[in-house]
């Protein structure tokens, strides 16, 4: 005599499997879009950080040249001076970049692929008066710039002002003997 075993149904039906697969695919699609968006944003942030680092290093180079320079002659878009070794130098606004000219060498301050300088204005404060204080007061040089930080996905416009008082402005005579 054949015995029958009771069959317990513990499997999913075809409809349940289709619905579960559909929900899984929707969740997978949402998660993959989130991962792709995070990755793209990470690349954009990395590009902007590289450009900001280039901007910071360029501004630091300008500050250093001003801080240790002497005998400044300033116009709206050019600043001539002697560097710390008394070599004639200039900082000029050329082709949407700031250019440092020294010893017949021209060096871009910023990487043109990352930074576009739209405008530059050099100005200075030269205290006047008859007293000892005004003769020795620091002469402050201010550089105002309008720059675009570029990336593959867009650009960011910044307005920057940097002020520096040259150390040699406190000396009664030029350190270069002129």
- Cα dist from 130 to 3, 31, 127, 170, whole Å: 122, 73, 10, 16
Please report where in the chains the tokens 């450009």 appear, as a residue. 51
pLDDT digit string, tens, across residues 8-66: 667 778 888 899 999 999 999 999 999 999 999 898 889 889 999 999 999 999 999 98
Grade residue 133 by pLDDT with cuts at 50, 70 and 90: low
Query: How long is the chain?
Result: 178
26-30 LR contacts (CB < 8 Å, sep 24+): none
Which tokens is 45 given?
A: 């942030």
pLDDT digit string, tens, across residues 154-169: 888 999 999 888 887 6
Which tokens is 120 given?
A: 């530059």
**CA 137 from centroid of its chain's CA atoms:** 32
What residue segments make up the domains of the chain, in order of their start? 16-170
Looking at residue 76, what is its pLDDT? 78
Grade residue 104 by pLDDT with cuts at 50, 70 and 90: confident
Q: 25 phi and psi, to 5 degrees?
A: -65, -40
pTM value is 0.75
CB 49 within 8 A of CB 60: no
């Amino acid at each position: 005599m054949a015995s029958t075993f009771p069959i317990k149904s513990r499997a999913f039906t075809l409809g349940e499997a289709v619905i579960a697969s559909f929900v899984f695919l929707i969740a997978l699609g949402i998660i993959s879009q989130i991962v792709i968006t995070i990755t793209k944003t990470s690349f954009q942030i990395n590009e902007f950080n590289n450009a900001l680092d280039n901007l910071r290093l360029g501004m630091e180079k300008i500050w250093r040249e001003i801080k240790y320079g002497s005998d400044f002659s300033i116009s709206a878009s050019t600043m001539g001076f002697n560097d710390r070794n008394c070599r004639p130098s200039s900082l000029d606004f050329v082709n949407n970049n700031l250019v440092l000219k020294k010893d017949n060498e021209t060096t871009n301050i910023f990487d043109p692929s990352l930074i576009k300088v739209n405008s530059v204005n050099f100005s200075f404060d030269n205290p006047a008066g008859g007293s000892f204080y005004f003769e020795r007061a620091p002469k402050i040089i201010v550089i105002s710039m309008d720059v675009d930080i570029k990336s593959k996905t867009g650009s960011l416009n910044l307005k920057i002002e940097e002020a520096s008082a040259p150390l040699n402005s406190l000396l009664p005579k030029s350190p270069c003997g002129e």
